[in-house]
Every structure is written in structure tokens, then in C-alpha cells.
Amino acid sequence: MEGFDAIYYEEEVENNEETEPADVSLVPDPVIIRGAGNMTVFGLSNRFSTEFPSGLVSRVAPEEFKETVMRINGCSLWPVICLSKRTQHSLNKLLEWENSYLYNKLGLHWRLSKQQCDSSSMMEYVILIEFLPKVPIYRPD
């Protein structure tokens, strides 16, 4: 009965790098959709690819993806490196509508982004499809 009231401390884990907090969820890298249309005078394409990326398999239907990209391509992209403010605004409004209508419910978020071209130091517009982290709804606050 001597050890009944005794307080025992567990040894602390010295290597904190191996332990990961339970509430951190791993989110995959975003899917990047680059221009893949007819080449213009500048050597750049004037539309985005409608080919279904493998990173979206079982997350969204290929038909929905293709319809969204076709709507984006209908906003007069010439070429994807130099979008006017009006085209950028209309693309952002279209993507905002698509996100609220469908993609945010599926855990995805589409946005227009500027990235460096693979072949040169020029910047081009790409579409980033980001994965939203899942909210643990069954976990108490």
C-alpha cells in the first residue's frame, strides 16, 4: 500500500520530430493546369488543357472537370501569359462561382495563379486546384 498514493511521471519523448499532432491533416500538393492550346506569336498557348489529371481521380467526375475548363477557355485567353484585367476579373468570378457551386463541396478550390514557365524565365497564368483540409466534425472543440 505504500505506492498507492505515489505519483509516477511518464518519460517525455525526447524526439519530438517523430511525433505529429493528431489534429494536423496532410493535404496533397495542388494540381497545376498549364496552357496547352495553339501556339501564338510569342510561343505561348492560348487555352488550358482539358485532359483529366490523375491527381483528381475519385475526387471529381472527368465530365465536370472538362466542362469547367471549357468555360474557362471561353473567356478569350490570348495568350495565357498576358491576361487583361477584364479577363482576369471574369476568370476569377467564374472560378468563384464554380468553387461555391461544386468544388468546395468536394474539398477542392480552383484559383488562377501566376507561375514561372518551365522553358524560360517568363511568367504565365496557370490554374491551381488546391485540396481543402478536412474539418474533423466529430472531434470536440
Helix (H) or strand (E) holding 89: helix 85-98
What is the mean pLDDT, run by run of 10 residues, along the chain of 141 residues?
63 48 68 75 68 91 93 71 73 92 92 80 83 77 62
| CA–CA dist 56, 107 (Å, integer) | 11
The pLDDT value recorded for residue 110 is 94
For the beta carbon of residue 74, count every other beta carbon within 10 angstroms: 11
Q: Which residue has the cell 504565365?
A: 124
| CA–CA dist 79, 87 (Å, integer) | 11
The pLDDT value recorded for residue 12 is 47
- 90-128 burial: b if 16+ Cβ within 10 Å, else e: bbeebbeebbeebbeeeebbbebeeeebeeeeeebbbbe
| CA–CA dist 124, 130 (Å, integer) | 18
Over the stretch 77-118, which tens digit does the pLDDT of each residue have? 655 555 677 778 888 899 999 999 999 999 999 998 888 877
